[in-house]
A and B are shown apart, each in its own frame.
Chain A
Amino acid sequence: AQSVAQPEDQVNVAEGNPLTVKCTYSVSGNPYLFWYVQYPNRGLQFLLKYITGDNLVKGSYGFEAEFNKSQTSFHLKKPSALVSDSALYFCAVRKRDSSYKLIFGSGTRLLVRP
């Protein structure tokens, strides 16, 4: 079955420290990869995507993600966390033969403490 795994329900990090939110996927082919962020009582906001090319993708708000084909991973990273980064982060994939259906992970809550 096609699936996306975010193994950590919550990630805690101190402000100013680097952060990593993990994502692995089990989807056939070479899917497109996405990260979205959800603030309380808000919709999902697009952060970044991997389509092809450089394995390191840069996105909004200083976030970046590293695609690793051999490990089927797409971990989200930021060199220096801000308290305002505290939110729920979702990894999602979309098969290349299906231009619309996103498969989401269960989400990881990021808590950045001052």
Chain B
Amino acid sequence: NAGVMQNPRHLVRRRGQEARLRCSPMKGHSHVYWYRQLPEEGLKFMVYLQKENIIDESGMPKERFSAEFPKEGPSILRIQQVVRGDSAAYFCASSPPGGVNTEAFFGQGTRLTVV
């Protein structure tokens, strides 16, 4: 049973380009969360999605950032017109449905570097 899979592991983009980060949740998990980790800081919640629905995007910057979790395929976090301040590790987590007692399982992250 593969864990949460994120790709790419490392991504380098020039300022102004677009970054696409992918996340495949664990088998049987229908809830996906994206977190951002800035250097020397803890993880900050960005967005919570279920299949085809954004449940909570309160942690997502209002501009340039978007997320989706289509019926088929991985969840995508998209950052348009990247800036140096977007450089961070982006972690995806997933959890099974229906359980407030369940813990989230994290992927290995995508480290985005904007040059």
Chain A positions within 8 Å of B, measured between CB atoms, are 4, 32, 34, 36, 41-46, 49, 51, 90, 92, 96, 99-107
Contact = CB atoms under 8 A, between A and B. Distances in A.
Interface SS of B by simple majority: strand
B69 interface: no
A43 B107 contact: yes
Interface of B: 4, 6, 31, 33, 35, 40-45, 48, 55-56, 91, 93, 95, 99-101, 103-109, 111
Given A43-B107, A44-B106, 10 more contacts: A32-B101, A34-B103, A43-B91, A43-B109, A51-B101, A100-B55, A101-B33, A101-B45, A104-B43, A106-B41
Give the 3 A-B residue pairs with the shortest CB-CB distance, closest first: A104-B42, A43-B108, A44-B106
B109 A102 contact: no
Contacts of A36: 106
Contacts of A106: 40-42
Contacts of B101: 32, 51
Contacts of A44: 43, 91, 93, 106
